[in-house]
Amino acid sequence: MPFVKKSFQASSPTALFLFVMKNLGISQGEAQRLIHKGRAQKGEKILLDSGEKIEGEIALTVFEPSESNREEFHPIYKNRDFMIFDKPSGILVHPNTHEAGYSMLDVVRWHGGSGANIAHRLDKETSGLLIAALHKKAEIALKKAFENRTVQKEYLAWASGEMKEDLSVTTRLKKSIDFSEDKHKVLITQEEGKLSTTEFFPLFYDKELDATLVRCVPKTGRMHQIRVHLFHVKHHILGDPIYGVDFNAANRYLDGVLSEKERAYHTGAKRLMLHASKLDFRFEDEYFTFESEVDFAKMQSLITPLSQREESKY
Catalytic residues: 123
Q: What angle do CA 203, 84, 282 make, to 5 degrees?
A: 80
How many Å apart are CA 212 and CA 203, to the nearest integer? 7
Helices 247-254 and 260-267 sit at what angle, rounded to 10 degrees?
A: 150
DSSP structure class, residue 105 = H
How many Å apart are CA 17 and CA 49, to the nearest integer? 9
How many Å apart are CA 39 and CA 5, to the nearest integer? 9
Three-state secondary-structure class, residue 94: coil
Q: What are the C-alpha distances in Å from 180 to residues 8, 78, 151, 246, 250?
A: 46, 45, 37, 13, 12
The alpha carbon of residue 167 and the mean position of all alpha carbons in its chain are separated, in whole angstroms, by 25
How many Å apart are CA 141 and CA 162, to the nearest integer? 40
Please state, as a whole number, how many other Cβ atoms lie within 10 Å of the Cβ of residue 199: 16
- Using CB atoms within 10 Å of the CB of residue 56, give its burial: 0 to 12 exposed, 13 to 18 middle, 19+ buried: exposed
Question: Is the separation of the CB atoms in 38 and 46 below 8 Å?
Answer: yes
Strands 274-283 and 127-133: parallel
